[in-house]
Structures are given as structure tokens and as C-alpha cells.
Structure 1
Amino acid sequence: MTIRNFTDKDVPDQSGRVYFVTGANSGLGYESAKVLAGKGARVLMGCRSEEKATTAMANIRDEQPEADLRFVRLDLGNLKSIRAAAKLVAKEPRLDVLLNNAGIMMPPREETSDGFESQFGVNHLGTFALTGLLLDKISQGKSPRIVITSSMAHRSGQIDFDDINAQKSYSRWGRYAMSKLANLLHMYELDRRLRAAGSPVIAVACHPGVADTELARNFPDVMVSLFRPLSSLFMNSAAQGAWPTLAAAAGENVESGQYFGPSRNGEWVGPAREVQARSKAKRIEPAKKLWDISEELTGVRYTL
């Protein structure tokens, strides 16, 4: 059965399931964690700041007093932090779904703790490393699933293999689009490898369309001031933007390799449905090359 017009109301009961949601203290991650906890899931909230995570958990419990939540310290811009978080999560009795949501968008050129250009480092390499480190754990879960969050920006993305860390040139939008294309190349290659290995894990992706979240914090102030009053006309709220995430993470009859996004106005807004990525996101050779580079840079090799 194909998913159409999916909203938070379509999330089935999640009692007994365990989710690890990255970037869970705000935006799409927070909204997803809130819905999943409200449906009975245990939600591990991966956040950089314990203070922000504590506030987010308190807010969820105000609405869902019985919510089963746990803070996991996680900085996707730091491989040491990623390894520590993975070890902590691996001690949980089970893990059914890894929801890779956290990311950054259009900062000035910065580097992660490990010297990677920040957007590629956080959005792709951090996600790649965390997923690889938790793959064995997820494989033991019930109906296990890995979700990777991309963006419509992947459509204009190009992987600059000759300047992977933007040492020669840097464009805020160009590197964001590159990282979001990398997310989809990762998902489709992971899907191929999981299938070839006969793994029970499925890999899927999602994008929120245009959602009103903190990701836009690096937009110019004049742009924000001009468009914020009109945002409801062409932007999802954070809660609405989480619908494709929830479809990917908790929708029934989801198949490995599917990609979910909003259903209206050119995938900008609306309830979730399956959408199609650009063909370049499904190309095998660039995906293999990116995979090899990602393993080399992160030191994480998948057991497939």
C-alpha cells in the first residue's frame, strides 16, 4: 500500500519500539520525537546540549506525561562524540530505528573538530559514521529501519571530489546542496548493500520540503524579515515538516530505498507521500566512490 497524504495522525502505535533521533531538541527532530513518544515509543534524544535536551524533554512531558525519553549527548561534528554516543546507545536493550535528522544549513565556512568542512562533515560524514557504528545494533531490532534526511537542495548538488573539504572554494548553498546529495547517495548505496547482504534492515530517506525551523538561522536577516510574515503561505510549520520524517520512520509497508517528501506545491508543503530523487542521487559509481572516501575519512567501516 503506497503512502499518501500521511500526517502525524497516521503514525501507528509504537509501543515497545525504540528510536534514536538525532537533533531532537528542536525543529523536525523535536516534533518527530514528540509524536513517536506520544505513540508509545522509547525515544533516545541525540543532542549536543544537555540543557536544550532537558528543556525539550520537559516540553514533551508537559503534553505526554508518560513519555519514555533519554538524553544522549551527540555532536555530529565530532567523531569522538559520535563513537561515545554509539557506545551508549548500543547498551540499550534494543534499537529499532535510527532517525538521522540533525544537520546544519549555510553557515560561513567552518571546520568540524576533525577538520572537515562543516556542512559535509555534519550532514553527511557524521550521519555516515553514526549509522555504521550502530548498524549491528539496529540489525537486532524488530522491523529495523534507518532514516536519512535529505533536502530538495540535492537537486542542485554536485559532489566535488577534487575539493571535498572546500579548501579551494566555498559556497554556503553549494556545499549545503552537496551534503544533501551525499545523504541520498549514502541512502541508496546503503540500501543496495543491505539487500545484497540479506539484512533485515531497510534504509529510507525523507525531506521536509520548506519548513519553518532553526535551520534557517544563517539566512540573511533581510530575507527572514521579508518572508517570515508570509511563511504560512508557502512553508510547512516544523510539525508539518516532520510528516515525511514520520512516514519514513514509522509508516507501515515502507520498503527499503523509498524517499518521502511533501505532496503539494512541488514538494514544498503538505502531507507526506513517496517522492522521487534526481537520477544523479541513484548513480552507483559516485555512490561507491563517496562511500570509500567516507570510510577513509571517518574510520568507520560497515559490517556488511
Structure 2
Amino acid sequence: MSKVILITGATKGFGRIWAEAFLKRGDSVIAAGRNITALEDLKNKYGDLVLPIQLDVNDRKASFEAVNKAKEHFGRIDVLINNAGYGLFGAVEETSEEEARNQMETNFFGVLWLTQAVLPIMREQKSGHIIQVSSFLGLITLPVLGLYNASKFAVEGLTETLASEVKGFGINVSLVEPNGYTTDWSGESAFQTQSLSVYDPVKAGFKAAVSAPGIFGNPEATANVILKLVDNDNPPLRLLLGSFAYPAVKKVYEERLEGFEEWKLVSEEAHGA
């Protein structure tokens, strides 16, 4: 049975690739983005299967209106993929208030607004699947991406809580956690803080680390994986994407457990009698 899928950030990158993958197999797609002229070719090719909606996810009112429009048009929403987001590159000290707030507005609050908007529809349907596009940097961190890391850690906490709240309504919730991919996430879509030269060595180390051969995945390879995720009757809460994500996360989590164990007696002392 075909599905009705709402994807934010659908004009490029993962969103665009996934939207077309769903359309190719006959699903209906609400493709939301800031510049829907980029979706004209999909509309011309797939006709009534695609509904382009101009949307800035930072706008809570517009997010609710977009969801309601999608519901009125197709009669239901089976899947929400919260994909809109961007990267802010720069040291924590360099980050301005405006840059920090804008990063959280899009990457965290945008996810929250769309999630809140779609929940009443899915509860009424007694079915649905909410997919939050997080990052393996919602589980571990890299330098010069402090605010991006923080925004994805926030999405992780929100979504894990959400999953425990809505399972009884027949709603599945998943976090997709990609490692680096050759999208424009670190290119045209990225923002840079105003640099302080004292952090140049840190940035040089970061640049060297992410320049390793083969570290970035092919975004086209994710399309079939997302189809499998959407089609699964019992989807996972978390799904890492790419070959570098798992070993990186495993290493950091093992180190965390070792640290907890080392300080276990001190932790228990803090509980009191």
C-alpha cells in the first residue's frame, strides 16, 4: 500500500533524494522547503503524487499550517521525516548569540514544531512513523561543531522521550544518525562563525581528520535504506547511516562506561545514606 510522506528540507541533499525515491515507487510526498521552485521538476514528472509546500520550519504557525494543508490534500500523513537543518562551523567561544539561537531554532525547534503538528493526526489515525534526521554527532562530538552537536543531542533526548510517550497510540519513532556524506551540508548550506586565530590549530586538526579517504558516504546509497526503514513494521529507535558512524560511536561509548566505572564509588557516595 502506498504511503503519504511529509519531508522537510526536501529541495536538496537527503530530502531531495528520499523524496524522489518515494515518488518513484508510487508513494505520495509532501515536499516542504524554503525554495520550492527547486521542486518544479518533481511536480512536472510526478504530478499529483507530489505536493510542494514552501516552509520555514523556524515558524511554528507556518509549520502547523503546512501539516494541516498536507492532511487536507491527501487525507492522511503516514510518515513525517524531519530533515531540515544545517551545520554551524566554529568554536564554542566564537559563536554569537544570533548564530547559536538560529542553529537551535532550525535544528531543534523546527523538529519540535513539525512533530507537535503531526501528532494529533497520527493519534487519530492510530498509526504513523516520525523519523528525525539527527546525526552520529547527536551521540558523540567533534570540535568546531559545538552548537550543531548540541542541537542534535537535544533532538536525541526529545525523540527518545517522544517514543516512550506515543508508542501506545500506534506511532513509531526513529532517529536516523548519518556520519558525514557528500551533500552540501558542509558547503553552501553551512554557516561559519567569525574566527579567532587561537583556534586555528584545533580547526586544522578537524580538517585533517575529516579529509581521510572514504570518510564521506554517498548520499544516493541512503535511499534504499530509508525505504526499508519506512516499510518496517517494527522500526528501530536509532539507525546509524554510513560505515564510520558505528565504530566511532562504539569507541566513545566504551570510554564513557570506563569513566563511569572508574568513578563508581564516588558516584555512590554522592547518593548519601
TM-score by length of 1: 0.65
Q: Which residue of 2 aligns with 1:287?
A: none
Identify which of 136, 144, 150 aligns with 1:178: 150
RMSD of Structure 2 on Structure 1 (CA): 3.4
Supply the distance in 1 between the matched residues of 2:133 and 2:87 (Cα, whole angstroms): 13
Q: Is residue 89 of structure 1 aligned with residue 70 of structure 2? A: yes
The Cα offsets for residues 57-106 of structure 1, whole Å up to 9 and x where unpaired, read as 45xx2xxx567111011101222322321231232311111111111111
What letter corresponds to residue 258 of structure 1 in structure 2? L
Identify which of 238, 242, 251 aligns with 2:231: 251
Answer yes or no: is the 8 Å Cα contact 2:176–2:241 preserved in 1.
Answer: no
Moved over 3 A (4+): 55-58, 107-112, 140-143, 241-248, 265-268, 277-280
Q: What are structure 1's unaligned runs of at least 5 residues?
A: 1-13, 158-170, 269-274, 281-304
Identify which of 217, 222, 225 aligns with 1:236: 217
Inter-CA distance 236–81: structure 2 relative to 1 (3 Å threshold): same
Identify which of 133, 145, 160 aligns with 1:188: 160
Supply the distance in 1 between the matched residues of 2:186 and 2:240 (Cα, whole angstroms): 19
Larger Rg: 2
Answer yes or no: is the 8 Å Cα contact 1:149–1:205 preserved in 2.
Answer: yes
Higher relative contact order (Cα pairs below 8 Å, separated by 6+ residues): 1
TM superposition shift of 1:212: 0.8
Supply the distance in 2 between the matched residues of 1:134 and 1:199 (Cα, whole angstroms): 13
Aligned length: 230
Q: Which residue of 2 aligns with 1:125?
A: 109
Q: Which residue of 2 aligns with 1:203?
A: 173
Identify which of 32, 52, 63 aligns with 1:71: 52
Which of the two has greater helix per residue?
Answer: 2
Q: Which residue of 1 aligns with 2:24?
A: 38
Supply the distance in 1 between the matched residues of 2:96 and 2:60 (Cα, whole angstroms): 19
Where 2:88 maps in the other structure, the secondary structure is coil
Supply the distance in 2 between the matched residues of 1:240 and 1:110 (Cα, whole angstroms): 37
TM superposition shift of 1:201: 0.8
Aligned-pair identity (%): 21
Supply the distance in 2 between the matched residues of 1:247 and 1:219 (Cα, whole angstroms): 32
TM superposition shift of 1:245: 3.8
The Cα offsets for residues 211-247 of structure 1, whole Å up to 9 and x where unpaired, read as 1112112377x99xx89xx787222122124455444
Q: Is residue 264 of structure 1 aligned with residue 243 of structure 2? A: yes
Q: Which residue of 2 aligns with 1:53?
A: 39
Answer yes or no: is the 8 Å Cα contact 1:18–1:41 preserved in 2.
Answer: yes
Answer yes or no: is the 8 Å Cα contact 1:21–1:43 preserved in 2.
Answer: yes
Q: Is residue 214 of structure 1 aligned with residue 184 of structure 2? A: yes
